[in-house]
Amino acid sequence: MPYAKYDGNDPIYNDKEQLLKKTGISITDPILPPQNLVKLTGTLSEFKGLFCYAPLADGAYLSDEQKQKHNNQLRKGALLATLNGNSIAALAGLGHANGNDRSNYVQAQYISAKLNDTITLKGWLGSYKFNDGDQVEVVAEKYADHYEVYAMLKPSEHYSTLNYQSPIEYKRNR
């Protein structure tokens, strides 16, 4: 499975190390869970996006203790499956418990940008299209040299609750 594809037209890289070696781009893992989120608004510049597989699925948000508990449960289930003669389920459970699967990896966009030409943004988003000059709202956490981005959207694309009708209201108004 390819690790990264840059802008859809560039080469597909097999892993983070090959990407760094070929392009000089270093990708950091997501910083999870966030602690002190703030909202920023402004104009994007120097926007760059790189599509990669990242550990962002549900399991990425578990603490180390929760992950260990989950893995112990998987191992117990694998043992029970073995005792019941289901070796395929046992092997699958052990593979998940030992971290041999990529079920927490999903395709995402690693971005770097400037906000209002002064604030450095970095982080992981779903596959969205942003450009230099876009007005955006950002949910991020401040670190020493950047803001780690957790969500970003264009205010022009907000879902308007003013025009929202619940299914019951819609049915009543028809």
Helix (H, G, I), strand (E, B) or coil at 102: coil
Q: Distance between alpha carbon 156 and the CA centroid of its chain, in Å?
A: 23
Q: How far apart are CA 149 and CA 48, in angstroms?
A: 13
Lookup result for tokens 């906000």: 115
**Strands 119-125 and 147-153: what pairing?**
parallel
Query: Cα angle at 59 between 55 and 64, to 5 degrees?
Result: 100
**pLDDT band with cut points at 50, 70 and 90 for residue 1:** very low
- Angstrom distance (rounded) from CA 105 to CA 58: 10
Model pLDDT for residues 2-20, shown as the tens digit of each residue: 445 455 565 566 566 777 7
- Neighbouring CB atoms inside 10 A of 140's CB total 23
pLDDT tens, residue by residue, 51-77: 777 777 666 666 678 777 867 777 777
Do 113 and 131 contact (CB within 8 A), yes or no?
Answer: no
**Ramachandran angles phi, psi of 169, nearest 5°:** -65, -40
- C-alpha angle 127-128-132 in degrees, rounded to nearest 5: 135
The answer to whether 126 and 101 have CB atoms below 8 angstroms apart is: no
Residue 88: CB atoms within 10 A of its CB come to 8
Q: What is the pLDDT of residue 2?
A: 46
Alpha helices in the chain (DSSP H): 16-23, 64-83, 87-97, 167-172
Q: Which helix (H) or strand (E) holds 115?
A: strand 105-115
Condensed to tens digits (0 to 9), the pLDDT of residues 118-156 reads: 999 998 887 678 889 999 999 999 999 999 998 899 988
